[in-house]
Amino acid sequence: MKKVCFSLLICLAATAAMAQNLQNASKQLKVFNQLYKTLDMYYVDTLDAEKNITTAINAMLYDLDPYTEYYTAKTARELNTMTTGKYAGVGMLIHYYKAEDRCVAYQLFEDKPAQKAGIKVGDVILSIDGKEMGPKGSKPVNDFTNSVSSALRGDPNTVAHVRVKRLTDTLDIDITRASVQLPAMPYSGLVDGDVGYIYLSSFTTDCSDDVRQAVRNLKEQGAKSIVLDLRNNGGGLANEAVKIVNIFVEKGKLILKMKGKVAAANTSYATQGIPEDLDIPLAVLVNGASASSSEIVCGSLQDLDRAVIVGERTFGKGLVQQPHELPYDGVLKLTTSHYYIPSGRCIQALDYSHRTDNGEAYRTPDSLTHTFYTEAGRPVKDGGGITPDITVSDTIPTLLAYLRNSDEYFDWLNAYCRSHETISPAGEFGISDEDYEAFTDSIVKSGFTPENRSKRVVEQLRKILKAEDASEEAMQNLSTLEESLKPDLAKILAQHKDKMSRCINADICDRYYYSAGAQQNALLHDVQLDAAVAVLKDSKRYKEILGQ
């Protein structure tokens, strides 16, 4: 009787708390509604309701977590592209190019409209359908690139009349738009003779079918083991992740549990199909950019002792998002639950409900994580991503990552490709030592300066010191510090020649052989892949790691 009374008290308390929350929400919505009406009526300038309220919505959502996002009717198709990999357009990526203050063709997809029409990487986009596309001027970069991207998209079989600048020439190119499917699996093939390799870049609709077919093809070609590469894969559809696990795991295995505030968010996923191969040795490659559905796959295969995980600790995203329709064709993608993999662990690393003074979410320290166990009894941890069974670091230094995304790097690649009509096959290509020296010399002379955190901190400190009328000596000391923080580019590029050369080689291959060629080339000197191949070829070690 006491237990019943206690339960009743808990229910009554919860109901009262919910009612109080609803009352508070109603009150604050009335405040916001009246506030905006007052602004609209009395503010000195005319307000843009869509822009202002969207800004307010985004500010509110930002305070929750980075995955809860609002899509207007204009931007909702971006969400559809993320989940399906499909869109109607020309099949190229664009990039803001500061030297021209316009967007340029940055990457082309093979056999897609832009490539077929004759667009070249580096072409500066001047106008689309007669409308000038720039200069950007004072507009935010994202807003500007989004406007150019939107102009390139359109219904299939319509024509985009694009005017571009190529070096000193101005060209008019007609591109017939089409339904474009971005490849979720850009490359698969054999490595080291009899090891099948599959690179999956995203979890979009039906990508599991592509992976299953790739496994079949590789086995027919003589593969005795499989490497599934999920590095830099930020995730996507959770049901596709479960289907991929099912390729290697028997039917009826519970893979995923989702737990949220409401009953509709509490869902379980088990394998439902016939597996492709329960016994073939399997390794999964991951790194710090492997997140969400990637972590469902590698974490589940680890928990079930079905694969050896190789690489670096994953990102740690244990949250699930679902889309909810809003009035006027808007969509709210919001976080509805945490997910738990077979061992019972949740690998979420960041606590967005608790933040530091500067607004950063708290990261769960390793000392506060909990131990769970795989089917074979191996200990695994929650609260911080998936820790590989074999850790192999292959992270590119931050400065080189900044460099790879810079206009200066883009310029050098363009110049190299203009001077080389053809290159050797992707599986063989590599720049020479002389080419690398020319690259280093070009970057050093270009005046490239990375926008790193230390530079921003120094600039902020300079503003503070000026505001406080700091002494000349203090300002001089800050300038000395700033000078000492400037990287020695030549030294760093020499020190990391192997890693930077790998990036250059892959990026050049992307120009000639597109994403498949770039990925194939990147595997030539891949220490993480080498480690995966080594453990797959060492049956004794493979079984020991999996507790067999």
Same domain, 227 and 270: yes
Angle at 396 (CA atoms; ends 393, 401), nearest 5 degrees: 155
pLDDT for residue 142 is more than 70: yes
Same domain, 361 and 221: yes
Q: Are residues 74 and 80 in contact, defined by beta-carbon separation less than 8 angstroms?
A: no
Catalytic residue among 112, 243, 257, 317: 317
The answer to whether position 47 is within a domain reads yes
Q: Is the peptide bond before 450 cis (omega within 30 degrees of 0)?
A: no
Q: Which of 181, 203, 223 is the last residue of a domain?
A: 181
H-helix or E-strand spanning residue 165: strand 159-166
- Residue 266 sits in a domain whose CATH number is 3.90.226.10
Same domain, 200 and 92: no
User: Over 332-395, what HEC string results?
Assistant: EEEEEEEEECCCCCCCCCEEEEEECCCCCEEECCHHHCCEEECCCCCEEECCCCCCCCEECCCC
Same domain, 388 and 423: no
Provide the strand spans (E) within 130-280.
131-132, 159-166, 169-176, 178-181, 187-191, 195-199, 225-229, 254-260, 267-270
Same domain, 268 and 416: no
The answer to whether position 530 is within a domain reads no
Same domain, 462 and 385: no
Structural domain range at position 165:
86-181
Rounded Cα gap, residues 325 and 333, in angstroms = 9
Same domain, 390 and 417: no
To the query of whether residue 147 is one of the catalytic residues in this protein, the response is no
The answer to whether position 96 is within a domain reads yes
Q: Which of 134, 163, 181 is the last residue of a domain?
A: 181
Query: How many residues would you count in the chain?
Result: 548
Rounded Cα gap, residues 97 and 105, in angstroms = 10
Same domain, 283 and 165: no
- Write the pLDDT tens digit of every residue in 499-536: 999 999 999 999 999 999 999 999 999 999 999 999 99
- Residue 171 sits in a domain whose CATH number is 2.30.42.10
Same domain, 412 and 322: no
Rounded Cα gap, residues 114 and 41, in angstroms = 48
Average pLDDT over residues 276-287: 98
To the query of whether residue 292 is one of the catalytic residues in this protein, the response is yes
Cβ atoms within 10 Å, residue 183: 19
- Beta carbons within 8 Å of 367's beta carbon, 6+ residues apart: none
Same domain, 96 and 164: yes
β 282-286/308-311 pair status:
parallel
The answer to whether position 2 is within a domain reads no
Q: Number of folded domains in the chain? A: 5
Catalytic residue among 188, 292, 337, 343: 292
Q: pLDDT at position 8, please?
A: 55
Structure tokens at 301: 């295969």
To the query of whether residue 389 is one of the catalytic residues in this protein, the response is no
The answer to whether position 8 is within a domain reads no
Provide the strand spans (E) within 370-504.
371-373, 379-381, 390-391
Structure tokens at 233: 């894969």
Q: pLDDT at position 538, please?
A: 97
Structure tokens at 60: 């509110």
Confidence of residue 221 (pLDDT cuts 50, 70, 90): very high
Same domain, 468 and 514: no
Confidence of residue 78 (pLDDT cuts 50, 70, 90): confident
Confidence of residue 367 (pLDDT cuts 50, 70, 90): confident
H-helix or E-strand spanning residue 86: strand 86-89
The answer to whether position 158 is within a domain reads yes
Q: pLDDT at position 14, please?
A: 55
Catalytic residue among 303, 382, 507, 510: 303
The answer to whether position 168 is within a domain reads yes
Confidence of residue 490 (pLDDT cuts 50, 70, 90): very high
pLDDT for residue 167 is more than 70: yes
The answer to whether position 419 is within a domain reads yes
Same domain, 230 and 375: yes
To the question of pTM greater than 0.75 for the whole model, the response is yes
Q: What amino acid occupies position 60?
A: M
